Amino acid sequence: MTLIEKILANHSKHNNVKPSDVVDIEIDTRAARDFGGANVVKNLRDHKLSINDPTKTFFTFDCNPTGSDQKYAVNQHICRIYARTQGIKVYDIDQGIGTHLMIQEGLAYPGSTSVTTDSHANILGAIGAFGQGMGDQDITAAWNKGKVWFKVPESVKINLNGDWPEDVKAKDVALNLLNEFGANQLLGYAVEISGKATEQFTVDERITISSMATEMGCIIILFEPNKLVLDYCEERTGRKIENIKADADAKYAHIYELNLSDFKPMVSRPGAPHDTVPVEMVKGTKIDSAFIGSCTNGRIMDMRAAANILEGRQVAPGVVLKIVPGTNEVWQQALDEGLIQIFKNAGALLSNAGCAGCAAGQVGQNGEGEVTISTGNRNFPGKQGKGDVYLASPAVVAASAVAGVITTQYDIPDEPVYFKIPNSVTEQLTSVSPKEKKAIDHSTLIEGNVWIIDEDNIDTDMIFHNRYLSITNINEMGQYTFDNLKGYEDFAKKAKATDIVIVGKNFGSGSSRQQAVDCFRALGISAIMAKSYGAIYERNAINAAFPIVTYNLLAELNIKNGDRIQINFITGKVTSIKNAKTIQVNPFSEVQLDIYKNGGLF
């Protein structure tokens, strides 16, 4: 049998398995991340399922280890509460990437099996273990039964021989393999990498290569454990481990012979990890940001490689370098070795351990138009942000961050490449002349149906919650108005254009967000009446030409929700259409009226 066949057979009721067999396999380690973990809990509760073995069951919070996203925070809390009731260990937001923790904590070891809600669980092939990412239903079943069904894949073998070039790093090995096989030539196969050259690979280097199996379409990339790997895993597990090897007469669908000495430093161009080219082909490309981290390159080996280049140097002006160690142990080791200080001195931004930009839950994301060079494993559009992402080794990323352009550690310029403002832009900025403006015909007499919200201190988070602050298009803001105000979560669906909102004291207290004004404009709300306003909110509303007025007594108007009123902004007279009763509110000041007629501050 091949290596994958032996592992699966050892965890099934069968002595032998072959490709295409579907077998139930015992799972040694069953984990769920903060991404997907809450759904696993929901499945367990909905179907009234118990946990097969809590000692083999874990949560790993690595997608959003900063807890900076409120939805992730809720999901994490759901998982923590469930873990307390079931006696399940949680590797919380301070610990790092779950698949790395499995190796580091001795949960995975040569010949073992693991599943988790992480598509890169096949990283465990680095130590000769079976690891698979699965959906929340599969993980739920694994937690409940301790087993999952699996179709035995065909195996291929890649023999790597020849000398390892000094300038080729483990990430370059992975990118060269992608260049050789593309994204689908190895699709659905379990790949064994062996050969004389692999004996030189450290645990960290094997992890980097195995971590990109998913990008090659493989089920897994497996390395046969050598003495170095066995010693590491025995230290982590605290017990003797029997090595596992493929049989000498194992059958492979294909066997490939590659010469490591032909490999070159490589870069994946934006949009596809398999679109790999030698670094030389993109050298000189200007970058806006750089990222070192992810499950591919968050090991201490990677931190050292980056520090070796950054020591005594500075990140190029206008470039942002973000560094995220893979686990807290790596973080601590980097601190003990003085690497953190080197990163800080160089001007890098350092975050706590985790998946970082790859999972969109931590530092590492980029914006539209931004060019990033990253050690991540994926650069699909939108995966690490809306900008362009090149993939490379930590050495190339660190060198590029210092240079300001994509380069290698052997070709860093004496002076960084600066961003330049094109002459056409400069001329445009200096030649702009004020345009003649005409006053906009904004009516000073409006009419609409009222929403009476008898509450004081409605703050900007109740009006427009901070989870929507990335929205810049005013037309998209209206739908979120008041969705964090208890009892009015459906306001945006029910409100009609020209409606008037009447509230109590201190309306709009809190943050300075303009969206808390603009969301009403997006809905077509014609005015707000309040007893008083937060100071910044009042300015924001006036400057946006959004009508706000201040009243003292409302009772004399004798109105209720849905009644129609008329407001005269110049006289301050408010009239009930139903009963003709009136009250006096503060009319627009001269400044407010000028800005209102102008259509806004601009």
- The mean pLDDT of 133-156, rounded to a whole number, is 95
- pLDDT tens-digit series, residues 179-231: 999 999 999 999 999 998 898 899 999 999 999 999 999 999 999 999 999 99
- pLDDT tens-digit series, residues 445-457: 999 999 999 999 9
Measured CA to CA, the distance from residue 12 to residue 573 in angstroms comes to 82
Measured CA to CA, the distance from residue 454 to residue 452 in angstroms comes to 6
- pLDDT tens-digit series, residues 324-353: 999 999 999 999 999 999 999 999 999 999
Confidence at residue 383, expressed as pLDDT on a 0 to 100 scale: 79
Tell me how crowded residue 348 is: count the other CB atoms within 10 A of its CB. Answer: 22
Confidence of residue 521 (pLDDT cuts 50, 70, 90): very high
Confidence of residue 439 (pLDDT cuts 50, 70, 90): very low
| Backbone phi and psi for residue 424, each to the nearest 5 degrees, phi listed first | -65, -35
Q: Measured between alpha carbons, how far is residue 313 from residues 307, 317, 350, 415, 571 in Å? A: 10, 12, 16, 11, 66
Beta-bridged to residue 116, according to DSSP, are 133
- 510, amino acid identity: G
> Please, are residues 157 and 5 in contact by the beta-carbon 8 Å criterion?
no
Confidence of residue 421 (pLDDT cuts 50, 70, 90): confident
- The structure's pTM equals 0.83
HSE-up (13 A, CA, CB side) for residue 96: 23
Report the chain's mean pLDDT, rounded to a whole number: 93
Measured CA to CA, the distance from residue 479 to residue 539 in angstroms comes to 23
CA 485 distance to own-chain centroid: 28
Residue 432 has pLDDT above 50, yes or no: no
- pLDDT tens-digit series, residues 496-519: 999 999 999 999 998 889 999 999
Token duo for residue 127: 């130590």
Q: Which domains does the chain have, with CATH numbers?
A: 3-262 (3.30.499.10), 267-403 (3.30.499.10), 445-598 (3.20.19.10)
Residue with tokens 């984990």: 31
Closest CA to 584 of 557, 545, 547: 557
Strands 155-161 and 190-194: parallel
> Please, are residues 99 and 121 in contact by the beta-carbon 8 Å criterion?
yes
